[in-house]
Amino acid sequence: MHVLTGVPKTALGVARIRAGETRRPDALFQDPYAAAFVAAMPDAYADDVTRSDAAREVGARIAVQVVIRTRFYDDYLLAATADGIRQVVLLASGLDTRAFRLPWPDGTRLFEVDLPEMLAFKEGVLGNAGATPACSRTASVADLTGDWPPTLTQAGFDPTQPTAWLIEGLLVYLTSDDAARLLDAVGELSAPGSRLSSEQGRGAKQLAEIAAVRSATGGSEAVALWQGGIEDLPSWLETRNWSVEQHDLGDLARAYGRPVTGETSSGFVIARRR
């Protein structure tokens, strides 16, 4: 059994949230494999019973964001392929099962890139579940803070073809420099017409507030690993040959029939390569 720690363990937390959403009668998506990941490591979150109320509140806010972003990214990828894109790349794919659970058009090639321990755990669970991908799927081992593009191209990725990139739940775990290097590499691999979607960066003020909560309450493991990424992602992309549209979390939640209370300061971008 592979033990997940650090950032890989946060992927298990995301799977737990997706499993819970899948059980709801009004679920915004179906992830039939999420529960299998959770079952494979039943003691991973045994210490939840000792969490403070403030830490639970932070966790609840993260759960809402995960549910909304999962549905949003599902829609984004299906829209991209409906428009003719047949090459999809999931960077830091974690325990994402879109290759198995979405209705992909014929000819879709999907590439997943992540760390070796993550992919080993994932492949083991999916193999035991008898999961079969609904498209051509290739999983590649690479460190996204290093020189990862050669690994992707050697796996069959074609940089001359338009690509739908998904960077879900990753940038906030990177320093601004690492995030910039990653996105620069994505740009170099993106033919005109390619698309990119990710969460918008968290501002310095918001990260400072979260750090204060973490210090006072023990926070959550996911929050403890945040480094901020790129603070103003839309502007950063616009200056690098991408056209960007922004989507507010609160607006999406209302559109999905899951309105959230209070103001929201997070959201998502869809960028198109010019």
CA pair distance 99, 86, nearest whole angstrom = 13
Give residue 219's pLDDT. 47
CATH number of the 6-273 domain: 3.40.50.150
Give residue 3's pLDDT. 47
3-class SS string, 75-122? HHHHHHHHCCCCEEEEECCCCCCHHHHCCCCCCCEEEEEECHHHHHHH
How do the pLDDT tens digits run along the chain, 274 residues long? Answer: 454 555 467 899 999 999 999 999 999 999 999 999 999 988 766 566 556 666 667 678 889 999 999 999 999 999 999 999 999 999 999 999 999 999 999 999 999 999 999 999 999 999 999 999 999 999 999 999 999 999 999 999 999 999 999 999 999 889 999 999 999 999 999 999 999 999 985 544 454 455 555 444 444 555 556 677 898 999 999 999 999 999 999 999 999 999 988 777 789 999 999 9
The answer to whether 270 and 195 are in contact (CB under 8 A) is yes
Give residue 203's pLDDT. 46
What 3-state DSSP class applies to 177? Answer: helix
Domain borders along the chain are: 6-273
> Tokens at residue 194, please?
């390619």
pTM value?
A: 0.89
Return the H-helix or E-strand segment holding 186.
Answer: helix 176-188
Return the H-helix or E-strand segment holding 178.
Answer: helix 176-188
CA gyration radius, the chain: 18
Among candidates 14, 27, 52, 8, which has minimal Cα distance to 258? 27
Among candidates 253, 93, 62, which has minimal Cα distance to 170? 93
The answer to whether 164 and 191 are in contact (CB under 8 A) is no
Give residue 208's pLDDT. 47
Give residue 217's pLDDT. 45
CA atoms within 13 A on the CB side of 44: 22
